Amino acid sequence: MIIIRLDRVLADRKMRLNELAAKVGISNVNLSYLKTGKVKAIRFSTLDAICRVLRCQPGDILEYADDETEDQREEETGAPQ
């Protein structure tokens, strides 16, 4: 599973979501969907623009987690992460 860490990078840069959306040129709603992990894909051009504005690497925004580990956490806490 891929986890989106955009909120962490935004906090580190002290930037708000709507400011990033304006600088990247995508809607606030679409960027919000990305931030909350409600998207199934991201275009490389969008990822490139986000990384350019935030001065980060794709790995700062995207993280891989083993699905089995995520399933175990859900079992332990009783709620999806």
- Looking up residue 28, the CATH number of its domain turns out to be 1.10.260.40
Residue 5 tokens, joined = 């860490």
Residue 75: pLDDT band (50, 70, 90) is low
**Which residue reads 């199934």 in tokens?**
40
Total number of domains constituting the chain? 1
Arithmetic mean of pLDDT, 3-10: 95
Per-residue pLDDT at 71: 57
Residue 74: pLDDT band (50, 70, 90) is low
Per-residue pLDDT at 38: 93
Rg (CA), the chain: 14
Residues 9-64 pLDDT 10s: 999 999 999 999 999 999 999 999 999 999 999 999 999 999 999 999 999 999 99
Distance of CA 54 to the CA centre of its chain: 12
Domain containing residue 58: 2-77
